[in-house]
Structure 1
């Protein structure tokens, strides 16, 4: 299965829907180029943290279109790889045979590192020994370091994050991992800013996920990050997977610009993301981070590209979108929940940011109905691609 696969990125066939190369060409002519993704198979760990990302990336732009009777437009060209191209033994019951060896992978745009390290039986007898985890996948570390140096984005989940840290890719950056491993990782990798309370961290070029199930959350986040919100929603609905629910993922479609070096503004951004739905005084926020109001406004715009007010509006709209997708609140209730008592102002702001009114957005992207005893059948709502218009939202003022 390993020999003769060069290039090793998969080219699946879609019966009755034309040649995959033609479909790939259509993708490249679209708004987003087709990205190459390499999902690693590691010894030890959990097979699902490799297989779920593989399925999500391969189905993005494909399965939903097929279900809707449209030609698929794949967005990710996916391969799987392991050290030496050998089957990765994740458990005594499971081994995963990759498409190729690491050295045969053509330059990837994104690498996904699953949980890996020690089989369950070994963990029972020895406990979690981080040196053994790294040694069992030693060939992966220099390979990650090489591709990261050439600009490839690297993502890791659960115990696989240890390999990113060992490669030095997380030094000075925020990262998360399984909560049960956080203390061990803090001791072994003190240069990393460990944030285990977060399900997902995004450091711009390196992405981390928490426990086992966060492999799906991180994968959908990356589909949205490198594709679009619509693409991720359609993929999630086609696969019957819930979209990520943590607050930092809620704001995934907002250009947060945290890759700057102004620590005071980063603290302000963190505070705003957690309190944006509350009344906010710009003077008080400036004082909170030790700046004069005028200096705060200037530095915030320089660091983020937004005024504080437009930044808050963008965060609130992002939060409103999730409430409209997930719940049964009225538009007025959503407006108040995100910080706007004036529902007419909220409707206008929402439409300026998304191109559609809140009610239409709910119709397109609301959760599918749940059949309960006594309920009547309801036709499921199919999401469509909205026109997105992002504009400045007025002069600076307190909210």
Structure 2
């Protein structure tokens, strides 16, 4: 953790330790390595300017041995975990889907993470790497996120953690999490901006042709509208709403369908589903809108009306609040090229040709 004499304004170069674990998606370790290594350097090199590296990156594995990947190649770290006494930032990537196996296999990592955090390090769990932070007790009582598809299992396994699957990133007392493989980019650029400022983060992103950090992953998720429960009357209402979510219906009307008073119905519905009835209907409508934006070229106004919203402004605001994107941004991200309508000319040409013999 020595200063570099040519660092601008006396900025200290920060030590980043990237943990590599067997059977994980390599990009969750490689992308942070490349981003931190590039910060303060790559943009400068592309513009023939002096480089001022902002971070010193070291890759490690538990024993310093080569790490295997699911697709047949190995990654050779620079050192072992225990050789790192103190780091400013620690990145923990994914390590395979079988958490029961992996948490045992990599259990030696947990006390090391606790020591690093106690020494002042920022500890980052990328995607399902958050499981190691939770298993180490670092996330108890704190905000966290992970891949949206894993959040249910994480919440069951680590109930003391405040999981937020709608978020790409969380930060709580030097503990950070990111959801999904691509969010390794978001969390790395976020930390570059946090420690080096917006200009360096933008330069790093531009040099690597990366987007600046996103905040929400709910636009990418296929989350269940309701959690599992055993209330047959509420299940009947859910089934009816899933067929009739476009209709405007009052709490009293819903309650009468299952012969309950309004207050009792609201209490039972929230207890069973985890949502108030209005929020449940909103979630159904937004999921329907997402599907239409992904597959149809209808205008946003038409889609809003089709899912039950005549007030376009309200629909846009609600859609962004729930997904983290405007309807237009969501369509640009997830619709087919034929719907987006802005494919490069060469792609239109290829799509129109018979590709016999090209493979």
**Bin for the TM-score computed over the shorter chain:** 0.5 to 0.7
Which residue is equivalent to 1:55?
A: 34
Structure 1 range deviating more: 214-223 or 89-98: 89-98
Listed as ranges, the matches of 1:79-228 within 5 Å are 79-116=58-95, 118=96, 128-228=97-197
Which residue is equivalent to 2:295?
A: none
Aligned residues: 222
**Runs of 5+ unmatched residues, structure 2:** 218-312, 314-341, 346-359
Which residue is equivalent to 1:33?
A: 12
Matched-pair contact (CA < 8 Å) for 1:174–1:194: yes
Question: Tell me, what secondary structure is at the counterpart of 2:18?
Answer: strand
Deviation at 1:92, TM superposition (A): 4.5
Deviation at 1:88, TM superposition (A): 1.2
Question: Tell me, what secondary structure is at the counterpart of 2:212?
Answer: coil
Across the aligned residues of Structure 1 and Structure 2, the Cα RMSD in angstroms comes to: 2.3
Listed as ranges, the matches of 1:374-393 within 5 Å are none
Matched-pair contact (CA < 8 Å) for 1:176–1:208: yes
Matched-pair contact (CA < 8 Å) for 1:40–1:112: yes
| Residues 175 and 36 of structure 1: CA distance in aligned 2, closer, same or farther (over 3 Å) | same
Distance in 2 (CA, whole Å) between partners of 1:167 and 1:32 is 32
Distance in 1 (CA, whole Å) between partners of 2:62 and 2:216 is 36
For residues 59-79 of structure 1, the C-alpha deviation after alignment (integer angstroms, 9 at most, x for no partner) is 000000011110000000110
Distance in 1 (CA, whole Å) between partners of 2:130 and 2:216 is 21
Distance in 1 (CA, whole Å) between partners of 2:206 and 2:71 is 33
Matched-pair contact (CA < 8 Å) for 1:47–1:94: no
Deviation at 1:31, TM superposition (A): 5.3
| Residues 32 and 247 of structure 1: CA distance in aligned 2, closer, same or farther (over 3 Å) | farther
| Residues 131 and 247 of structure 1: CA distance in aligned 2, closer, same or farther (over 3 Å) | closer
Which residue is equivalent to 1:238?
A: 207
Matched-pair contact (CA < 8 Å) for 1:43–1:137: no
Matched-pair contact (CA < 8 Å) for 2:16–2:55: yes
Relative to the length of structure 2, the TM-score reads 0.59
**Is 1:69 aligned to residue 51 of structure 2?**
no
**Is 1:42 aligned to residue 21 of structure 2?**
yes
Larger-gyration structure (1/2) = 2
Matched-pair contact (CA < 8 Å) for 1:175–1:193: yes
Matched-pair contact (CA < 8 Å) for 2:128–2:147: yes
Matched-pair contact (CA < 8 Å) for 1:43–1:136: no
Deviation at 1:191, TM superposition (A): 0.4
Distance in 2 (CA, whole Å) between partners of 1:209 and 1:31 is 30
* Runs of 4+ off more than 3 Å: 370-373
Deviation at 1:145, TM superposition (A): 1.0
Distance in 1 (CA, whole Å) between partners of 2:138 and 2:32 is 21
Distance in 1 (CA, whole Å) between partners of 2:125 and 2:57 is 16
| Residues 246 and 193 of structure 1: CA distance in aligned 2, closer, same or farther (over 3 Å) | same
For residues 267-301 of structure 1, the C-alpha deviation after alignment (integer angstroms, 9 at most, x for no partner) is xxxxxxxxxxxxxxxxxxxxxxxxxxxxxxxxxxx
